[in-house]
Amino acid sequence: MEVHEFDTMIPTDLVNIGNQSLTRTYTHTFPSRHLNMQLLRTFESEPLSPSRIAEQFVETLRLDGAGNEVSVYGLDTSNIDLGETEQGILCAIRGCVVWRDTKEYQYSRHGPFIFHITEQNKQYLFDSLRQTCFNQHESIEAPPLENMGDHIRNILERWLQKQLCESCQNSLLLWDGSLMSPSVNRPITPLMTLLNIARRERNVILAFSKKTSLTAMGHRMNTLVNDKDVPCLLDIDNIIQLQYGKRLRFLGKVYIAKFSRGTLSFRLDLDRRLSQCEGRFAAEDLLRSDLIVNSYPESLRLAHILSRFSAGEVIAMKRYITLHHSLRIVPQPDVRQILFGPYGGA
């Protein structure tokens, strides 16, 4: 199966489940659950300067241009709230895979898929999608309504990642985010399964985080790296394990990637089963095989751009919903505007 044939693999249920959510109403209710979203707390320790942290806990891996040219696939997804109905919320998700083929980029974009999520149908949606995409039959309590969009997007993302892992060999798979299981938001089983499949197909997963809440003893990660060793990887796995190991499960080794000079560096998670040397080789292969702008791989940047929804598309989806499903989006008053007028701030 080739990447460009993904469209034939998209479970039609994803479309059908979305459509059902837009048409059906459910009478049975499920108790809502409150998640503790505050997962991370500041690590308290004696203050260390970034240079001392770098000396004691961080290993710099300089990269050279000896990498091999391999296939690179970038994958990203996005979701957006379209509005509220009298019963619940409307959201849309979309995913995109971008790859580089003979120096030229190509993409396969999936979606948008639109869902009408209510308190009545959210459990059904959550279970059905997980069952359809990952063949997981056991029921897990659905997250709160307001977080359902993120979770449905996550399911699509994991599904696309699975397709990539299965259909590619000897390739670099670039994901947006981390290889960490911080919460119930990201079930551990699918991620482990994905890593196993990738290993089996001799693919290397490189997960780039544009933003990270992890710090190295209270210091932001990008303060640990400077321009003199560029391009390089900073192995900060030890210090991260030390700080967060008890609370979070890291399925990947954590690095800081700085591939080009400038202000930007990114957290990079590489499969924990890969040795430091193998990780360095993967990064060197990436430098050889993809265009790097501001330390960020172009294929992932394009995947991000292509998956994002524009304002025009949001209007288009609202029009679609109105025309095909006669759902009325309830306008919500802008409380901030009403209360504070022009002094409301952003």
Taking CB under 8 A as the criterion, the residue among 200, 319, 328, 336 binding another protein is 319
Specify the 3-state DSSP secondary structure of 78. strand
**Which of 9, 88, 44, 344 minimizes the C-alpha distance to 215?**
44
Does 310 participate in binding another protein (rule CB under 8 A)? yes
Task: Identify which of residues 6 and 259 has a Cβ nearer to another protein in the complex.
Answer: 6
Taking CB under 8 A as the criterion, the residue among 312, 331, 341, 342 binding another protein is 312
Rounded Cα–Cα distance for residues 230 and 252 (Å): 22
Task: Identify which of residues 272 and 318 has a Cβ nearer to another protein in the complex.
Answer: 318
Task: Identify which of residues 7 and 138 has a Cβ nearer to another protein in the complex.
Answer: 7
Q: How long, in residues, is the chain? A: 346
Q: Are strands 171-176 and 204-209 parallel, antiparallel or unpaired?
A: parallel
Task: Identify which of residues 115 and 250 has a Cβ nearer to another protein in the complex.
Answer: 115
Does 320 participate in binding another protein (rule CB under 8 A)? yes
Does 317 participate in binding another protein (rule CB under 8 A)? yes
Q: What is the nearest approach in angstroms of another protein to the Cβ of residue 86?
A: 20
Rounded Cα–Cα distance for residues 78 and 200 (Å): 28
Q: What is the nearest approach in angstroms of another protein to the Cβ of residue 319?
A: 5
Does 2 participate in binding another protein (rule CB under 8 A)? no
Q: Taking CB under 8 A as the criterion, which residues in 69-108 touch another protein?
A: 98, 104-108
Does 313 participate in binding another protein (rule CB under 8 A)? yes
Rounded Cα–Cα distance for residues 60 and 234 (Å): 5
Does 111 participate in binding another protein (rule CB under 8 A)? yes
Total number of residues that touch another protein (CB under 8 A): 30
Contact 278, 206 (CB under 8 A): no
Contact 173, 286 (CB under 8 A): no
Q: Is 247 exposed, middle or buried (0-12, 13-18, 19+ CB in 10 A)?
A: exposed
Contact 117, 149 (CB under 8 A): yes
Q: Are strands 252-258 and 232-235 parallel, antiparallel or unpaired?
A: antiparallel
- Binding region for another protein (CB under 8 A) out of 1-9, 34-42, 120-128, 284-292: 1-9
CA 276 to chain centre: 24
- Which residues bind to another protein, rule: CB under 8 A? 4, 6-7, 10, 15, 98, 104-114, 302, 305-306, 310-317, 319-320
